[in-house]
Amino acid sequence: MSKFNRKYLYIFCMVLITFLVVGCTGKEVKETSQKKDMKLITDEEKPYIGFLIDTLKEERWYKDKALFEEQVKSLGGEVKTLAANGLDDVQIKQAELLIGEGVDVLVVVPHDATISAKIVEMAHEAGIKVISYDRLIKDADVDYYISFDNEKVGELQASEILKKTSSGNFAYIGGSESDNNAILFRQGAMKVLQPQIDSGKIKLVYDEYTEEWKPDVAKSNMKNALSKNGNKIDAVIAANDGTAGGVIESLASVGLAGKVPVSGQDAELEGVRRIVKGVQTMTVYKSINQLATESAELAVKVAKSEEVKTEKTINNGKSDIPSIFLEPIAITQDNIRDTIIKDGYLTEEEIYK
Ligand code: GAL
């Protein structure tokens, strides 16, 4: 009988014993150790990392997945990635599955900042640590958080737009409210805009989050903003390139594309091309390579039960989470080559062709 079949026979027996024992001694203890002891990978000595991501809808998450997996493997680990397509119950089921497979650590990009607290609870019951990746899980004892300085992202967006126009009617087109990053991006932007608003130079005439970061929702929100203000909109802070694309389509429909400054984020190919064309003012480049590399290193260390000290923490409503924050960079027409192209994130050909 092959090694693999022997393993499944073993699982079957263990589950059977579990059920028998549960009747006698009570659920928690038994289950925890059994899941933790067995890893559903060929070489059980290897660190086994579970990577739970919200969606693959936006371009960057493909890069996060590929780069993170590559890094974990280069560090001698095994990794399994599952995407939840924006569905909370699916993400929780996927966490259950990976916990059942005996992962050593879970790395999570939560769809919903609070609902995902359940994942931390389940993982800790099974003795598995959780790293919050890019987006923070709120109200749970998350073990580590690694991301960019997300308030700074908002500050960069507002500052670049203010360089183009510092007075008039402004619209804020935010991200998804279930994503804690969207809250932080908005906080950072408002920190920069507030003095101008208080002085009366700027009027914030529209301010909405965008359901699920959907570009077409951003497009219809922008249409509302234009119709409510007689097309008198002087600047738009859009939270990422996806929403910026929707906003610019609406501006184009009233002949304002390229005349109204618009921010973005993520250095998506189409976002950077719009900057080259002059219809989008800026985007925020976040080195996904750096995020994935440092997260893989952290995950493998945690999987080996190594203690990792961090300089920073962030309070997620439950406790101060040991955190690592990376630097975001504002991108305009002037520095595309020195940043995105130099890093190999996008190529000269694909941007300028
Ligand atoms: C945020 C992320 C952004 C953007 C957005 C939509 O959490 O930080 O880079 O991609 O999600 O997926």
pLDDT of residue 29: 45
Q: Is the CB of 69 under 6 A from ligand 1?
A: no
Rounded to 10°, the helix 269-277/241-253 angle is 40
Q: Is the CB of 297 under 6 A from ligand 1?
A: no
Report pLDDT digits (tens) over 75-88. 999 999 999 999 99
Contact status, residue 226 vs residue 18, Cβ threshold 8 Å: no
**C-beta contacts of 316-320 below 8 A and 24+ residues apart:** 316/136, 316/137, 316/138, 316/139, 316/140, 316/142, 316/145, 317/138, 317/139, 318/117, 318/138, 318/139, 318/140, 318/141, 318/142, 319/141
pLDDT of residue 28: 46
Q: Is the CB of 285 under 6 A from ligand 1?
A: no
243 C-alpha vs ligand 1 centroid, how far in Å?
A: 11
Integer Cα distance of 303 and 240 in angstroms: 33
Token couple for 239? 């939270």
**Residue segments in the chain with a per-residue pLDDT below the cut of 70:** 1-38
CB count within 10 Å of CB 5 equals: 9
Task: Count how many residues are written for the chain.
Answer: 353
Q: Is the CB of 58 under 6 A from ligand 1?
A: yes
300 C-alpha vs ligand 1 centroid, how far in Å?
A: 24
193 C-alpha vs ligand 1 centroid, how far in Å?
A: 22
* Residue whose CB lies within 8 A of the most ligand 1 atoms, among 152, 265, 291, 327, for a mutation test: 265
Q: Is the CB of 54 under 6 A from ligand 1?
A: no
Q: Is the CB of 64 under 6 A from ligand 1?
A: no
pLDDT of residue 191: 98
pLDDT of residue 18: 56
pLDDT of residue 55: 95
Contact status, residue 129 vs residue 302, Cβ threshold 8 Å: yes
Q: Is the CB of 243 under 6 A from ligand 1?
A: no
Q: Is the CB of 132 under 6 A from ligand 1?
A: no
pLDDT of residue 27: 47
CA distances from 240 to 54, 58, 68, 182 (A): 16, 10, 22, 10
32 C-alpha vs ligand 1 centroid, how far in Å?
A: 33
Nearest atom, ligand 1, residue 153 CA: 8
Q: Is the CB of 241 under 6 A from ligand 1?
A: no
pLDDT of residue 77: 96
Nearest partner of 208 among 181, 236, 234, judged by Cα: 236
Q: Is the CB of 213 under 6 A from ligand 1?
A: yes
Indicate which residue's Cα is closest to atom 1 of ligand 1: 181
Nearest atom, ligand 1, residue 54 CA: 12
pTM of the predicted protein model = 0.89
